[in-house]
Amino acid sequence: MPRVLLLLPTSTYRATDFVRAAARLGIDVVVGSEEEQALAGDMADRAVVVPLGNPAAAADVIVALDARAALDAVVAVDDQGVLVAAAAGARLGFPHNPPDAVAATRDKAAMRAALAAAQVPQPSFAMFDDPARVPGVGFPCVVKPTGRSGSQGVIRADDPRELDAAVARVRAIADGPVLVEEYVPGVEVAVEGLLRGGTLDVLAVFDKPDPLVGPYFEETIYVTPSRLDAATLARVTELSGRACAALGVVEGPVHAEVRVDGDRAWVIEVAARSIGGLCARALRFGAGIALEELILRHAVGLPLDGLDREEAASGVMMLPIPRAGVLQEVRGQDAARAVDGITGLEITIPRGRRVVPIPEGDRYLGFLFARGDTPHAVESSLRAAFAALTIEITP
């Protein structure tokens, strides 16, 4: 029986889905987390504390664990674990991404520099110095912290005054350098892929039908298959593969963001992990297997043949937090679940918990899932279900 260490941060949404996938495959799981007993019940005696914020120390812990009972793979389920998985893979000789390559995906400035060196199309960029001197970027521009993921701290600025305000706000959200990028127009897609020996297999391309034009860039609806034409999709695939090669990532899941405007396309982001939150539940492969199972199959060397994405259209809506405060109730859940095409609704923030919207926040209220005959039908189902919800937040 293969034995896998799953790196599960205490803040992850994905523990249950990965553990279930491992059980379906007959994989013996050990859980690595920052705190003891990340999972309760029969998993509690198969957990180890791993300092995810210190990759070198974490690799020492994992090497010692492997010496006691051999591991076959180390799998990071979220951003917080990817550097640790790379460091452990290098020490133990597993197929892995080079640690330097993974580090570049976790630092937006390093990512931009690597893509620029390989001449991969991307927005022009500069590190913030002074609002009057952002060389080669101009306005409108997008301000980002270099070390955060998703849309946290990402703000558009249309003039020097807005740039000043955006930089101050970003610095209040996250310590460290601030990146300023050219705002590029067009539609945005998400590419979900799996790297095998440096070759990118695209598993799905998601459209993002809600415009991402700022001032903030909160993602909501993802729908697949993409409605872009075949030539544009081929360009998106080729560009994503070039970006992975430029960064040096070669093994495992990858999630990329690409903007497309006519015959132009730009790489916005590349992450050495799979799609975040519970969004992976929108994907099924082969005879209905989950993305997490596909990732684990790759990690332990099980066959992946015949595991293309299902033919039906599918999608997910990340439920936005409309304002800061305390979540009191989400009404209309039964009505939302009853909408034709809706396959699931998960509210992931408990009642009574403080909530913070983008750009300061880093979580969503929950997730809606839908399936249908066409991408348009899926999008319509998600919008109708969301309209049925009433979110009550008090100051």
Q: Is the pLDDT at 331 greater than 90, yes or no?
A: yes
pLDDT of residue 44: 46
Q: Once rounded to an integer, what is the mean pLDDT over residues 21-39?
A: 84
Q: Once rounded to an integer, what is the mean pLDDT over residues 350-366?
A: 95
Is the sign of the CA dihedral 195, 200, 203, 207 positive or negative?
positive
pLDDT of residue 136: 73
Encode pLDDT of 265-317 as tens digits.
Answer: 999 999 999 999 899 999 999 878 999 999 999 999 999 988 889 999 999 99
Most distant CA atoms of the chain, gap in Å:
61
The burial of 305, by beta-carbon neighbours within 10 Å (0-12 exposed, 13-18 middle, 19 or more buried), is given as exposed
Distance CA 64, CA 201 (A): 33
The CATH code of domain 124-182 reads: 3.30.1490.20
What CATH fold (topology level) applies to the domain 3-100? Rossmann fold (3.40.50)
pLDDT of residue 10: 81
Give the single-character DSSP code of 392.
E
Q: Is the pLDDT at 320 greater than 80, yes or no?
A: yes
pLDDT of residue 135: 65
Domain residue extents for the chain? 3-100, 124-182, 312-395
Encode pLDDT of 42-96 as tens digits.
Answer: 454 588 999 999 999 999 999 999 999 999 999 999 999 999 999 999 999 999 9
pLDDT of residue 133: 60
**CA distance between the termini of the chain:** 52
Encode pLDDT of 238-267 as tens digits.
Answer: 999 999 999 999 999 999 999 999 999 999
Average predicted confidence (pLDDT) for the chain: 93
Distance CA 89, CA 297 (A): 16
Structure tokens at 344: 């699931």
Q: Please give the share of the chain, as a percent, with pLDDT higher than 70.
A: 96
Cβ neighbours, 10 Å, residue 214: 17
| 176 residue type, one letter | G
Give the rounded distance of the alpha carbon of 104 from its chain centre: 15
The CATH architecture one would assign to domain 312-395 is: 2-Layer Sandwich (3.30)
Q: Once rounded to an integer, what is the mean pLDDT over residues 315-324?
A: 97
Please state which of the ranges 118-122, 135-139, 200-204, 271-275 shows the lowest mean pLDDT: 135-139
Helix (H) and strand (E) counts for the chain?
A: 10, 19
What H or E segment, with its residue span, contains residue 346?
strand 342-347
pLDDT of residue 46: 81
